[in-house]
Amino acid sequence: MPQIHTCLWFDTQALEAAQFYCSVFPNSKILTTLHYDENAPGKAGSVLLVEFELDGRKVSGLNGGPEFPQTEAVSFVVECDGQGQVDRYWDALQAGGGKESQCGWLKDRYGVSWQIVPRRLMELHQDPDPARRRRVMAAMMQMVKLDVADLEAAAEG
């Protein structure tokens, strides 16, 4: 089987972003950094590509210029064990200029979109009672950062 991994396009911040992400997630590290040479379209000596692991999963960051900015069409989902993890990753990823959205989504300072989702939300979305599922969905749609206690309260009615 081929290995599949994500490649993120940045203007010039790929290494800075990779270092930031590696500081946020455990089991993460920079693997390789490649630089433009004199015959390449980028500035000679500047970072072309950085390969890194986020919690053991390979990601590449490419400094390709400003032509293709990040969009919400692609996002990373961080499944959290509870509110403590939700709070930790939410705060870390929006630090330094990130922007909150809704329903557990945010953009970090590099424009990359993240969904910070408690695993309990997925369990509540699979509840056999359709009324409970509707209440949970309605509560989630009103939230910015997801709150496990409020989702549980909505499920209970």
Residue 4 DSSP symbol: -
Ordered per-residue pLDDT tens for the chain, 157 residues: 899 999 999 999 999 999 999 999 999 999 999 999 998 888 889 999 999 999 999 999 999 999 999 999 999 999 999 999 999 999 999 999 999 999 999 999 999 999 999 999 999 999 999 999 999 999 999 999 999 999 999 999 9
Q: Which CATH superfamily is domain 70-157 in?
A: 2,3-Dihydroxybiphenyl 1,2-Dioxygenase, domain 1 (3.10.180.10)
**CB under 8 A, 24+ apart: contacts of 30-39:** 31/58
Contact 10, 63 (CB under 8 A): yes
Neighbours of 51 (CB within 10 A): 18
Distance CA 20, CA 22 (A): 5
Same fold yes or no, 1-69 and 70-157: yes
Distance CA 55, CA 23 (A): 11
pTM score, whole prediction? 0.93
Contact 36, 45 (CB under 8 A): yes
Secondary structure E strands in 28-140: 29-35, 47-54, 57-63, 75-80, 99-100, 105-107, 113-118
Q: Where are the domains of the chain?
A: 1-69, 70-157
Q: Mind listing the pLDDT tens digit for each residue in 29-42? A: 999 999 999 988 88
CATH topology classification for 1-69: 2,3-Dihydroxybiphenyl 1,2-Dioxygenase; domain 1 (3.10.180)
